[in-house]
Structure 1
């Protein structure tokens, strides 16, 4: 009577599984089938969106031009492409400039298509404030589109941002201006 039988493999299940894998004919594996199904489903969803709701089917990503910041002496900076930036995001020049003056804690003026800020700041600081402004006052919270507008609700006296793509609405905070007006 033998205690150990070396003629049989120890784990018969593993051997059978390996034989099944080797015996399979080469073909399409499961990952490739899943990818093909995903691509088909994605095309189908895009096709349905285009048939029923065209604005949601088209990509809405828009690249904004970087701010062109120049130094004007030791205590002032010039944002050269300020008015085109405001036009690109569909906001009033006065509203955007007041936001930047409040956030930077300084004063300034608009000269032609430029914004003059009476303090020295880096372009990264301005870019950070642009991102904050876009997040608060421009980007739709649902579809992340730039195609929004701000209107004042007469009854509640709140400012409401409405998206032109998905028709979502949200309230936005008022800007407090130094002469006690609010935009």
Structure 2
């Protein structure tokens, strides 16, 4: 009886020395958006912290947010800058959607996943439970190849949004393209006239 009692005491003592994450599953908590509005721009000051928690490519996350929020934007160091006024709640909602689609395992709910391409299909694979599923649905964002947009070159684009001044917004790789005189959903050929960072302005080639 004494030996059995000593065994359980030793077991409890050993268990008490284990890290908390070994005893209890760590909760997956994404940092809340820390935003400030400057003029017509919204600055997400903790974008880098959110990217680190999601463990995904920052450009993939940014392109998803820009498309879903219907605006243009760029990464500036550890911050993301959106070209219209947004609330933290609006950004949080889209980040949560991104996590549900691209980060959390659809089977076990854990965030221990990676994105893999099989042919033309984007898959989410879980390192915790081994599940592997295709990502599907209208909200799936494409992982864009890195493309250098150049002044004077022409590109075929899909207008995915409309900016505050009425210009159409399209995306080429990491670049956000502003195009006057077009509507959302239009497919046009655009000639790039000027570039500043990852923001470009172009006109439709008739």
1:121 is matched with 86
Matched, 1:88 2:27: no
TM-superposition CA deviations, 1:8-46 (whole Å, max 9, x none):
xxxxxxxxxxxxxxxxxxxxxxxxxxxxxxxxxxxxxxx
For 2:22 and 2:102, the matched residues in 1 are separated by 21
Shift of 1:82: 0.6
TM-superposition CA deviations, 1:44-99 (whole Å, max 9, x none):
xxxxxxxxxxx9985142222111111111x1100011112111111000000000
Q: Are 1:60 and 1:145, in contact at CA under 8 Å, matched by a contact in 2?
A: no
Q: Are 1:82 and 1:114, in contact at CA under 8 Å, matched by a contact in 2?
A: yes
TM-score normalised over the length of structure 2: 0.55
Q: Are 1:77 and 1:120, in contact at CA under 8 Å, matched by a contact in 2?
A: yes
Q: Are 2:112 and 2:127, in contact at CA under 8 Å, matched by a contact in 1?
A: yes
Matched, 1:163 2:129: no
For 1:167 and 1:72, the matched residues in 2 are separated by 45
TM-score normalised over the length of structure 1: 0.62
Q: 1:71 aligns with which of 21, 24, 37?
A: 37
Aligned residues: 125
Q: Are 2:33 and 2:89, in contact at CA under 8 Å, matched by a contact in 1?
A: no
Say which structure is richer in strand.
2
1:147 is matched with 112
Q: Secondary structure at the match of 2:105?
A: coil
2:199 is matched with none
For 2:23 and 2:126, the matched residues in 1 are separated by 15
Q: Mapping of 1:43-58 within 5 angstroms? A: 58=24
Which is higher, the Rg of structure 1 or of structure 2?
1
For 2:101 and 2:171, the matched residues in 1 are separated by 23
For 1:66 and 1:81, the matched residues in 2 are separated by 9
Cα separation, partners in 2 of 1:106 and 1:68, compared to 1, 3 Å: same
Structure 1 gap ranges (5+):
1-54
Cα separation, partners in 2 of 1:62 and 1:102, compared to 1, 3 Å: same
Q: Secondary structure at the match of 2:128?
A: coil
Q: Secondary structure at the match of 1:77?
A: strand
Which deviates more from structure 2 when the two are superposed, residues 77-86 or residues 164-173? Answer: 164-173
